[in-house]
Structure 1
Amino acid sequence: MTSTVVVVAGDGAGDVVAALDGLHNVRAIPRGERQPAEVMELAARSAATYVVHDADPLAEVAAAWTGFFDGTGVIGGLEVAAGRWWPADLEAWLRGHPRVVPDRAGLPSGGVVVA
């Protein structure tokens, strides 16, 4: 893929994306009834300079944060939603990043120095 991908998120995102359709070098993909994976597949196949869509890849995490702060979320819901971001082999992924990783990233307290 050589396109610049822009995600429009929030209320009215689908209308914004639809309004961009027809602009020169822009491929607008309103999600509508499509599954996010289908939107990503269409975006990956596009040859347009800019691909704009409204399939927010972090919508589930945003909803979990909202539920956490509003007190309406299920216990552990935020951890489950945010935990999906972590790679399957977290330790190997961290070894590829030689720096101090703070304990707020879900690692043991005191931070971990990864060499």
Structure 2
Amino acid sequence: MRRTSSTVVVVAGEGADKVVSGLAALHNVRALVAGDRAPAELTRAIAGAGTTYVVHDADPLADVRDAWVDFFDQAAPHGGLEVAIESAVGGLAAERLLLPDYYVVLDPEGMSPTRRHWWLGVLAGTAPSRVVPAAASVAAVSDALAHLSTGRWWPADVTGWLRGLPKVVPDRVGLPSSPRM
């Protein structure tokens, strides 16, 4: 999986595009609002940024996130999550998609419980220091950027991790497995 020389940060949540736009004035930050850009076009822009931080609002796992939430909220037919996972696996393998170094999640306390579990359970459980909650403001996200901590990156086997997501149940994320009798 490709990594860039910049620290790539996805700002996710309501109003992410406005927050990302507001970060453009910061020194050493390239702010990219996805808008109508295709994922591959955005990936090329991120890879060629050459700044300390590249901040954008195009979550490469958005379809997986939405399908995972719908699957556990029983709001979608069976198979949608698996299709989203395979699409993401293909996009990552072909380098049309690029996992960020960090996610800054705007106002997670205002999200539905299952969506909040995606961010603060599934993703944070996989790479705890890589998911940072913040208020939905330019100042709060700017402060979060200044205080990003290091920690383990996403799993080495991203494909296996993604394909295992249908078994990652909300409210059970991060809990030890019960012993089998």
Question: Does TM-score exceed 0.5, indicating one fold?
Answer: yes
Q: Is 1:74 aligned to residue 133 of structure 2?
A: no
Match of 2:12 in 1: 9
Which residue does the alignment assign to 2:45?
42
Runs of 4+ in structure 1 displaced over 6 angstroms?
none
Cα offset for 1:83?
3.3
User: Where does structure 2 lack aligned partners over 5 or more consecutive residues?
Assistant: 94-155, 166-181
Structure 1 partner of 2:68: 65
Query: What one-letter code is carried by the residue in structure 2 that aligns with 1:105?
Result: G
Cα displacement string for residues 48-102 of structure 1 (whole angstroms, at most 9, x for unaligned residues): 11000111001000110121122121211112212345578xxxxxxxx8xxx9x
**In the alignment, which of 153, 159, 164 is matched to residue 105 of structure 1?**
164
1:19-61 deviation per Cα after TM superposition (whole angstroms, max 9, x unaligned): 1002100000011121222111101011111000111001000
Match of 2:59 in 1: 56
**TM-score after normalising by structure 2:** 0.46
| TM-score scaled by length of structure 1 | 0.70
User: If each structure's helix is expressed as a fraction of its own residues, which one has the higher value?
Assistant: 2
For the residue of structure 2 that corresponds to 1:21, the secondary structure is: helix
Q: How many angstroms apart in 2 are the aligned matches of 1:31 and 1:53?
A: 7
Structure with bigger RCO (C-alpha 8 Å, 6+ apart): 2
CA distance in 2, matches of 1:7, 1:36: 13
Q: Is the 8 A contact 2:60 2:88 kept in 1?
A: no
Q: What RMSD in Å do the two structures reach over aligned CA positions?
A: 2.4
How far residue 12 of structure 1 moved from its aligned partner, in angstroms, is 1.0
> Structure 1 vs Structure 2: percent identity of aligned residues?
54
Q: Higher Cα Rg: structure 1 or 2?
A: 1
User: Which letter maps to 2:81?
Assistant: L
What is residue 18 of structure 1 aligned with on the other side? 21
Matched pairs, number: 93
Q: Any stretches of 5+ residues in structure 1 without a counterpart?
A: 89-96, 107-115
